[in-house]
Amino acid sequence: MREGSFLPFLHFRSAGISLVLDCTGPGLPRIAHWGRDLGELSEADLAALVRAGVPQIASNNVDVVVPLAVLPEHSAGWLGTPGLTGHRAGADFSTAFAVTAVEREGQAVEVTAEDVRAGLELRLEIELTGSGLVRQRATVTNQADGRDEPDAAPFALSGVLLAFPVPERATELLDMTGRHLRERSPQRHEFTLGTHLRENRRGRTGTDAATVHVAGEKGFGFRSGEVWGLHVAWSGNHRSLAERTPSGVSLLGGGELLLAGEVILGPEESYTTPWVYGSYGRHGLDELSGRFHAHLRARERHPSGPRPVTLNVWEAVYFDHDLAKLRHLADLAAEVGAERFVLDDGWFRGRRDDHAGLGDWYVDETVWPQGLHPLADYVRERGLEFGLWVEPEMVNPNSDLARSHPEWIMATGDRLPPESRHQQVLDLGHPGAYDYLLQRLDALIGEYALTYLKWDHNRDLVEAGHSPRGQAGVHVQTEAVYRLLDELRARHPKLEIESCSSGGGRIDLGILERTDRVWTSDCIDALERQRIQRWTGLLLPPELLGSHVGAPEAHTTGRTHTLGFRAGTALFCHFGIEWDLTRASAEDRAALAEWIALYKELRPLLHGGTVVRGDHQDPALWVHGVVAQDRSRAVYALAQVATSVQSPPGRVALPGLDPEARYRVTPLPPGDRLRGAASDTLAWWGEGVTLPGVVLGDLGVRAPIQHPERLVLVQAERVG
């Protein structure tokens, strides 16, 4: 262990990013710079960089410079949101940590600090990842051992916030909100003085979660403007904030949101925060987003094989499980090129609708007298994987489980929370409930050789009390869910798990450490999905976003879309089918097979390339695509999401290409079908056009005339 005085300044560099930490003095470290790479800097340069940023002391303030530490403290004069809140029987409400050791290993540093008076130890971990993300977490330990102070009270911890400073030129904020069927809707506003606080108290990440909290230069876009973003990698209650003080300090901060009494630290007990991630983009949101994508793809357990075309039967049959119909669906799925078949809700005891059965994880003998083997075997004979839907954390009051074990339901005192979708929540912090779920899921996976679980979570945790006394239990519940997922993955290493939570209600990097994709939204209306996927992709790469081709008439909105728009929208994610193919015409099935063939051809590019989104001047026309890592090839979608005030459309820039190379741009079948006379009158469309990347990136090509809710594909291939 190296003492802090030997490491006054730390400079980390990775992927075009510099992180400079100021570890001078006894207080907690400060981030002196987080942003573009500063190049090689000497110790004297780092000292000068820090000194150049020290402000003068303002009038009517404390008589010392107040630093913004990575964990801000009231004792240092910080009057913004504090980094640690809690108390010991009313005392020790304000900490004053002194650094005792700083240890650097590669691109990470561990800082240890103590507040002897408060009896607390703090361990900070700060790391710059290979993709240029900065991530932090903290561990708080109650050092009171009960021997020297036998009457010492436990420490009631109510919150830990980790901070990332942003410069004054970040004058605009962006984050997400939403609801079921309209998740991750962006909202932007001025970064004014005060605190913009986003709290999530749903017990899961939530359909209205901030997802990535971004501060940036005024008018920043996908391809322009400096941006700094924060994400809290936690699947329970959490908070993020953007704060600007009258003294000129601006920051992004975040951490778990702890309910009253959730973390009471006894002697030598510790609490560790979730990782809080910061991402920087010098040239807009695409660069910020790309750092998250690269980080996820570098994980040891990131899905590495081709992402299978998945047919899920929910919107085809709902609760009407008929073996003959399901076998027919398997036949048609194999015919069009699907590779995985997922049996959704309705297979277990008493589950004829959503009013009963949740929790009774046994195959319903009245519907499946031979179990699921006749279907699973048939599916595999057709060359398809077999997967199953489950919702382990929930229980219907009308179930054998709830009647047998009412003590396993999350509740506060002698009352149950309001039902949601006729459901309550199982208390996974109860050993009996946890063991039951582990045993049943393990048995199902083993008996049916499942390779895929669609893991749903269809309600918020309202008044989530943890037995036996009904104390707040979201923290315990979240940790138990993680533990359950980890144990199942350890027992079944080839199992893939989808995080499906009312569609997109639990999307964060905490759950993604344990799952292989997310169900992006229950809404598969292609027009709605264009926006939902655009903004979910700010955090997650395409291979983690489940997107399916639905029926011609969307079940959630009633809109009708062409197959080209539906399939072209799903193409840029983990492609699947949510359509009763027995009702599809032979012509439609043949066209769907074309799209599936294209998806299979493009998988290495779509799931390994760089995602790009254009800042097109016409809000009715969206441009997005994927560029190969070596920039030899790219595929773009030009999606008309509304009626434009301009006709014909203007030129569309194709972002991300090598400006020094030349590319041939052509329509890409089957996404090359235009309506009306456009294909005859658009000069370049028939034979394509060859231009330098700089021209295509700045001027682009004339967009095809598009009717509302249509989509075409173009590809760019390097020549010469």
Segment 684-713 shows an average pLDDT of 94
Catalytic (active site) residue 151: no
Assign 152 a pLDDT band (cuts: 50, 70, 90): confident
pLDDT digits (tens, 9 = 90+) for 642-651: 999 988 888 9
- Identify whether residues 131 and 173 lie together within a single domain: yes
The secondary structure of 456-524 as a DSSP string is: ---S--SS-EETTTTEE-HHHHHHHHHHHHHHHHHH-TT-EEEE-BTTBSS-STTGGGT-SEEE--S--
Q: What pLDDT does residue 685 have?
A: 94
Q: Is residue 60 part of a domain?
A: no
- Classify residue 58: in a domain, yes or no: no
559 pLDDT above the threshold of 60: yes
Question: What whole-number distance in Å separates Cα of residue 322 and Cα of residue 324?
Answer: 6
Same domain, 339 and 282: no
pLDDT tens, residue by residue, 54-107: 999 989 999 999 999 999 999 999 999 999 999 999 999 999 999 999 999 999
pLDDT, tens digit, 9 for 90 and up, residues 365-382: 999 999 999 999 999 999
In a domain? residue 304: no
Arithmetic mean of pLDDT, 411-438:
96
Q: Among the options 92, 456, 516, 525, which is catalytic?
A: 456
Question: What is the residue range of 41's domain?
Answer: 4-53+66-297
Higher pLDDT, 681 or 395: 395
Average of pLDDT values for 117-122?
97
Distance, CA of 671 to CA of 714 (rounded, Å): 8
Residues 101, 426: Cα–Cα separation, whole Å:
43
The DSSP 8-state label assigned to residue 348 in this structure reads: B
pLDDT digits (tens, 9 = 90+) for 506-525: 999 999 999 999 999 999 99
Determine phi and psi for 124, rounding to 5 degrees. -105, 135
Do 247 and 321 belong together in one domain? no
Residues 576 and 618 in one domain: no
Question: In angstroms, rounded to a whole number, what is the distance separating the alpha carbons of residues 340 and 383?
Answer: 8
Assigned token pair, 68:
């913004």
569 & 701 share domain: no
Find residue 1's DSSP bridge partners: none
What separation, in Å, do the N-terminal and C-terminal C-alpha atoms of the chain show?
56
Say what angle helices 563-571 and 526-536 make with each other, to 10 degrees. Answer: 10
In a domain, 346, yes or no: yes
Residue 59 lies in a domain: no
Average pLDDT of the residues in 397-410: 97
Q: Is the pLDDT of residue 4 over 60?
A: no
pLDDT at 680: 73
Answer whether 17's CB lies under 8 Å from 132's CB: yes
Does residue 467 sit in the same domain as residue 349?
yes
**What would the pLDDT profile of 229-286 be if each residue is shown by its tens digit?**
999 999 999 999 999 999 999 999 999 999 999 999 999 999 999 999 999 999 999 9
Which position has the token pair 């395409």? 542
The 10s digit of each residue's pLDDT in 597-606 is 999 999 999 9
Give the count of domains, the chain.
Answer: 3
Q: What is the CATH number of the domain that holds 201?
A: 2.70.98.60
Task: Tell whether 48 and 117 lie within a shared domain.
Answer: yes
This model's pTM is above 0.85: yes
Residue 212 shares a structural domain with residue 358? no
Q: What are phi and psi of 611, to 5 degrees?
A: -75, 135
Mark whether 153 and 23 lie in a shared domain: yes
* Mean pLDDT of the 566-584 span: 98
What integer pLDDT is reported at residue 5 of this predicted model? 43
pLDDT of residue 371: 98
Could you tell me if residue 87 is inside a domain? Answer: yes
Q: What is the CATH number of the domain that holds 603?
A: 3.20.20.70
Domain boundary among the residues 251, 272, 297 is at 297
468 upstream amide cis, omega within 30 of 0: yes
Shared domain for 191 and 261, answered yes or no, is yes
List the CATH number of the domain containing 662: 2.60.40.1180
* pLDDT of 183 strictly over 80: yes
Which run of H or of E encompasses 676?
A: none
**230, part of any domain:** yes
pLDDT of residue 169 exceeding 80 = yes
Contact 338, 310 (CB under 8 A): yes
* 431 shares a domain with 567: yes
- The two most distant CA atoms of the chain are separated, in Å, by 88
Q: Is 522 a catalytic residue?
A: yes
Whether residues 9 and 155 fall in one domain: yes
Catalytic residue among 427, 522, 525, 580: 522
pLDDT of residue 1: 37
Domain boundary among 582, 607, 632: 607
**pLDDT over 90 at 404, yes or no:** yes
Among 549, 583, 607, give the residue marking a domain's end: 607
SS (H, E, C) 69-127: ECCCCHHHCCCCCCCEEEEECCECCCCCCEEEEEEEECCEEEEEEEECCCCEEEEEEEE
Mean residue pLDDT of the chain comes to: 96
Is residue 259, in this structure, part of any structural domain at all? Answer: yes
